[in-house]
Chain A
Amino acid sequence: YTTFPGNLKWPTNKLTYRIENYTPDMSVSEVDSVIEKALQVWARVTPLRFTRIYSGTADIMVSFGTREHGDYYPFDGPDGTLAHAFPPAAGIGGDAHFDDDETFTFQSSNGYNLFLVAAHEFGHSMGLSHSNDPGALMYPVYSYSDPNSFSLPQDDVNGIQFLYGKNPDVNPGDPDPEPPTTPDACDPNLVLDAVATLRGEQMFFKGRFFWRIYPQSGEAVQSLIKNFWPEVPDNLDAAYESQETDRVYLFKGQKVWAISGYDLVRGYPKSISSMGLPKTVKKVSAALYEEHSGKTLFFVDKHYYSYDEARQTMDSGFPKLVEDGFPGFRGKVTAAFQNSGFTYLFKGPHVFEYSSRSKRLYRVLGNSYFLRC
């Protein structure tokens, strides 16, 4: 997180706000409740308390406008800049302006969810600047998440409590749920959800995030899954790239999504039984495509199936125990991928490296072998 120069903050914890006008996109009562809920995001973790007034000048004046709207920061029409707000100070300080050339929504993921935009802007009104943690609310780029299950990320809690301290009214016997954190590539205990290649890049999935690694530089860029594929769920089970179809398949529960490049393929999600898996399989724990054999291996905990991509049929004689096909491996496979003739089976934070052809075990590595810290 970051704050503004001089750690600008309000000299009092009791602040007023006033909604000066409304967007035609939503009802008055929807806007009223969204603005109150967005302020409560910050009140819940600090001593800050907000009171609404209906006339005169409030600390936080909330308004909707387009293009040149009375400050020196004109909006830019649809998309691009969605809103802005001013750090704590008298006058325009604390005020939040929303670009009414956007389509703001109450609940849906279409348009821009006003609650998420407002909660971010009120972070500025309280004194937070932008965070470069892609999972933080104060990250400058908009990304949709369900407002009904919103929980202020740890990075934002750290920032606002740096300025104002904790909420003194929290009942120790009934604490708030743990704030969501952003997985750390350098965490030696990191257990990845899924791994896949994508046209030369590698993708490592964890929770709401994934790291992309460029072949030439090896730098790992962390992003929200929903920033690229809003329809794809978080906490994936498995993923693999098929050289046969030039697609990446993403698995969760009994559903599979297909992406081509960075676009979602129409007609997905489908059932995983569409890939030949028996209906008894409730979820896939890992998957990889073997270039030399053209087979896709689906791992279901300690067992695996072999699927012929060209014939699009399951090979007979499966499922087999993983340890029968990959000597030296014991237990459940949590993620898997193939790269440059090597097969990597992930078991928690450990990675077993095999020759793809001979299935000979070469090394046991850690995640950091790929996710360079």
Chain B
Amino acid sequence: AHCLPILPPPGTEQDKDVAEMYLKRFYNLTEQRGRVFHRGVSPLGEKLSEMQRFFRLKVTGTLDSDTLQVMKKPRCGVPDVSQ
């Protein structure tokens, strides 16, 4: 029997790309490859929490619909954290 790859629900991979691009642009997320987890939290999770804290969303460190909704809103191109 050939096992087929279980495709992620539509949009998930794309949403993750949106999130990574957003966090790189506005929250100083650096390249993901080989990055060390701090206290079990990935750099992406850390930056997600930072963004959720800034926008007074539920701080989960995971990409929930409210967080994604904010990421898709038109905005200023200046980062939210000083670079």
Question: Interface residues, chain A, CB within 8 Å of chain B?
Answer: 4-5, 73, 75, 79-85, 99, 102, 112, 117, 120-121, 124, 129-130, 132, 134, 140-142, 214, 217, 219, 221-222, 227
Contacts and interface: CB of A to CB of B under 8 A. Distances in A.
A130 B80 contact: yes
Given A132-B56, A222-B56, A120 B76 contact: yes
B66 A221 contact: yes
Given A214-B58, A221-B56, A222-B56, A130 B74 contact: no
A82 B76 contact: yes
5 contacts: A84-B77, A102-B74, A214-B58, A217-B58, A219-B58
B69 to A, nearest CB: 9
Contacts of A130: 54, 76, 78, 80
Interface in B31-74: 54-58, 66, 70, 73-74
Nearest to A112: B74
Given A140-B26, A140-B80, A221-B66, A132 B74 contact: no
Contacts of A5: 82
Contacts of B77: 73, 75, 81-84, 99
B64 to A, nearest CB: 10
A83 B76 CA distance: 5
The interface size bin for chain B is 10 to 19
Contacts of A132: 54-56, 80
Contacts of A134: 56
Nearest to A6: B82
Nearest to A133: B56
Interface SS of chain B = loop
B2 interface: no
A367 B63 CA distance: 31
Contact of A81 (B56, B75, B80): B75
Interface of B: 25-26, 54-58, 66, 70, 73-78, 80, 82
Nearest to A81: B77
B66 to A, nearest CB: 7
B56 A129 contact: no
Nearest to A228: B69
A137 B64 CA distance: 26
B14 to A, nearest CB: 14
A140 B25 CA distance: 13
A140 B82 contact: no
Given A129-B78, A129-B82, A130-B80, A141 B57 contact: no
Contacts of B58: 214, 217, 219, 221
Contacts of A79: 74
A41 to B, nearest CB: 15
Given A79-B74, A84-B76, 12 more contacts: A81-B25, A99-B77, A112-B74, A117-B76, A134-B56, A140-B76, A140-B78, A140-B80, A141-B73, A142-B76, A217-B58, A219-B58
Contacts of B73: 141-142, 227
A130 B57 CA distance: 16
Most buried by B among A79, A112, A130: A130
A4 B76 contact: no
Contacts of A102: 74
A141 B22 CA distance: 13
Q: Give 9 closest A-B pairs by Cβ, nearest first.
A: A84-B77, A81-B77, A142-B74, A141-B73, A140-B75, A141-B75, A5-B82, A130-B80, A132-B54
A273 to B, nearest CB: 35
Contacts of B57: 221
